[in-house]
Amino acid sequence: MREVGRRLGISHSTISRYKAGIYKKRKIDINKKYEIFIKYLFDHYDRRDHSIEVCVYQFKKQYIGAKSVSVKQVYNWIEQGKIHLKRDDLCYKRHKKKKRSGMMEHFLWNLENKTILPISLRPKYIEYRNEPGHLEIDSILGKKDEQQAIISIVDRCTRRLWLIKAEYRYDYYTANLIYKYIVSNDIEVKSITVDNGLEFRALGIAAKRLGVKLYKCDPYCSFQRGSNERTNALVRRYLPKGMSFKMTPQIYLDDIAFNINSMPRKIFGFKSSYEIELKY
């Protein structure tokens, strides 16, 4: 407004008053345009039995030629203070949506607390597979709309496999299940790598209790857990896709893991994972 006033050679306050007059006139024109509709709304609205939706519907039915607006526009007027209806007077109180924290904020929080780290920060020596203890963890899903799943744990060096029956997919349940299984079976752990599945959101707690780092793969980058994905394909030979896991006992999963760990692997010169594990 100051720049406009300078170019026209008049005071900027004159521009401000002129602009305010235009807005006031425009507001009056809006009220005049929907005068019948607004009057009908105030006369018939009752939060107990005549909601805004009902008033808008009945007005359009009775006053066919009159100007009306949508239900959403009425709520916008209420939010903007153009209609003197309080939020408490509405049939359904509308709550403002909370602002969700962005991915960068979540990433920085994990970085500061050192619970979960991106796979880009995983040390290079883990890529060489020269020592056991660096685990990759994934879940194998069964029949659609069932909560049961199977947690597969694979050692990056020896390719040894462990399978755990999970009755639910809740994050804290899964984290506690994995922690108890690793401790009870005395599995050597030096690092853990997982994907972005919701069931692994709380796995950082288990990693902290085990005293190791947890690394998360990038979205849609399953190749960053290649050993895990390849081993899951072997498990699917026994548990095909679409199979229900409700009646699958843990002892059967132990037998599957034993068979796969005893299987000759071309990558090891046709030696099994058990034989490679003996070297370390």
Per-residue model confidence as pLDDT tens digits over 70-111? 888 888 888 877 777 766 667 665 555 555 555 555 555 555
Using CB atoms within 10 A of its CB, is residue 229 exposed (0-12), middle (13-18) or buried (19+)?
A: middle
Mean pLDDT check: name the lowest of 7-11, 125-129, 220-224, 232-236: 7-11
Residue 130 is assigned to a structural domain of this protein: yes
pLDDT of residue 1: 79
Residue 48 is assigned to a structural domain of this protein: yes
pLDDT of residue 55: 86
Same domain, 248 and 120: yes
Residue 253 is assigned to a structural domain of this protein: yes
pLDDT of residue 7: 82
Same domain, 144 and 256: yes
Same domain, 37 and 112: no
Same domain, 129 and 218: yes
CA–CA distance, 210 with 186 (Å, rounded to integer): 11
The domain that holds 239 is classified in CATH as 3.30.420.10
pLDDT of residue 87: 60
Query: Pick the residue with more confidence: 224 or 10?
Result: 224
At which of 47, 65, 89 does a domain end?
89
At which of 89, 111, 131 does a domain end?
89
Number of domains present in the structure of the chain: 2
Same domain, 139 and 235: yes
pLDDT of residue 137: 96
Mean pLDDT check: name the lowest of 28-42, 102-116, 161-175: 102-116
Same domain, 14 and 134: no
Q: Which of 141, 159, 142, 151 is nearest to 226 (CA)?
A: 159
| Overall average pLDDT of the 43-52 stretch | 79
Same domain, 194 and 161: yes
Same domain, 37 and 128: no
| Overall average pLDDT of the 107-127 stretch | 75
| Overall average pLDDT of the 32-55 stretch | 81
Residue 97 is assigned to a structural domain of this protein: no
| Sign of the torsion angle spanned by Cα atoms 202, 125, 230, 236 | negative
| 191-194 and 134-141 beta bridge pairing | parallel
User: Is pLDDT at 52 greater than 60 in this prediction?
Assistant: yes
Mean pLDDT check: name the lowest of 76-80, 146-150, 175-179, 216-220: 76-80
Residue 94 is assigned to a structural domain of this protein: no
Using CB atoms within 10 A of its CB, is residue 137 exposed (0-12), middle (13-18) or buried (19+)?
A: buried
| Residue whose tokens read 């597979």 | 129
Residue 95 is assigned to a structural domain of this protein: no
pLDDT of residue 161: 97
Q: Residue 226 contacts by C-beta under 8 Å, 6 or more apart in sequence?
A: none
Average pLDDT score, the chain: 84
Same domain, 85 and 196: no
> What's the angle, vertex CA 177, arms to CA 170 and CA 277, rounded to 5?
130
Q: What percent of the chain has pLDDT over 70?
A: 85
User: Is pLDDT at 215 greater than 90 in this prediction?
Assistant: yes
Residue 96 is assigned to a structural domain of this protein: no
pLDDT of residue 123: 92
Mean pLDDT check: name the lowest of 3-12, 85-94, 134-143, 213-222: 85-94
pLDDT of residue 28: 44
CB neighbour burial string for 75-107, b if at least 16 within 10 angstroms, e if fewer: eebbeeeebebeeeeeeeeeeeeeeeeeeeeee
Domain that holds residue 243: 103-279
Same domain, 251 and 119: yes
Same domain, 118 and 83: no
Same domain, 118 and 252: yes
At which of 34, 56, 89 does a domain end?
89
Q: Determine if residue 166 is left, alpha or beta; phi over 0 gives left, psi from -120 to 50 gives alpha, anything else beta.
A: beta
| Overall average pLDDT of the 200-216 stretch | 91
